Amino acid sequence: MSLFASHVQDLLASRLVRSFLLTSGIIFFWLVVHLGASLLGFRMADRHFEHDSWLYKIRPFERSRRFYRFLRVHQWKDRLPEGDALVKDGFRKKHLMSGPLTTDYLDKFCIESRRAEYVHWIAMAPGPLFFLSGNIAVGVSMTLYAALANLPCILAQRYNRERLQRVRDRLARADVK
């Protein structure tokens, strides 16, 4: 093999190794971010999620449900992975419990919905940090990844919570009568 061919082969191997290491590092970074956000949310006390703060408050455009119908959330939300299935004592949000619903159960469901929304906001937050690399394409692609991986989950949580809060309010009014 000529000296030139050897040099080209070394250059390609070096680029491949750097690309592999960079890609592996990015995958590891996102894995740590997602697991860290989940752990943080899981360890936070329920009191942090008991009320609709400005972040969790259902906006007027969400109450009409046209927004969610336009996005067809009801068609794809059940296909999203259930993160709490990975946690031994996690609260399952895939389906409502069987049997009669209580306001306490629906309150807990809403707390866990806010917790899940929080986790996804936290997991999405580091995306723009990739712009600090100086590479616009990396910044755009990582921010886009963060949004595409987390916004559907946030939308599903908000869609479900709005519906659950209406059911909970009806139950509470029926209990008063």
Determine the pLDDT at residue 84: 65
Please write the tens of the pLDDT for every residue from 128-152: 999 998 889 999 999 999 999 999 9
pLDDT score, position 134 = 86
Q: Is residue 172 part of a domain?
A: yes
CA-CA distance, 137 to 167, in Å (whole number)?
Answer: 45
What is the C-alpha to C-alpha distance for residues 139 and 145, in angstroms, rounded to an integer? 10
What rounded mean pLDDT belongs to the chain?
86
What pLDDT does residue 65 have? 84
147 located within any domain: yes
In a domain, 11, yes or no: no
- Is 171 inside a domain boundary? yes
The pLDDT-based confidence of 24 (bands split at 50, 70, 90) is confident
* Distance between CA atoms of residues 69 and 54, nearest Å: 23
Q: Which residue has the higher pLDDT, 137 or 2?
A: 137
Three-class DSSP category at 76:
helix
Residue 78 lies in a domain: yes
Q: How many domains does the chain have?
A: 1
Q: Is 75 exposed, middle or buried, given 0-12, 13-18 or 19+ CB atoms closer than 10 A?
A: exposed
Q: Which residue segment(s) compose the domain that 105 sits in? A: 26-176
Residues 6+ apart with CB under 8 A from 87: 38, 42
**Among residues of the chain, what percentage have pLDDT more than 70?**
85
Return the closest-CA partner of residue 117 out of 172, 33, 41.
41
Q: Assess if residue 101 is contained within a domain.
A: yes
Tell me if 77 is assigned to some domain: yes
> Considering the domain boundaries, does residue 63 fall inside one?
yes
Tell me the pLDDT tens digit for each residue of 62-121. 888 899 999 999 999 988 887 766 665 666 655 666 667 888 889 999 999 999 999 999
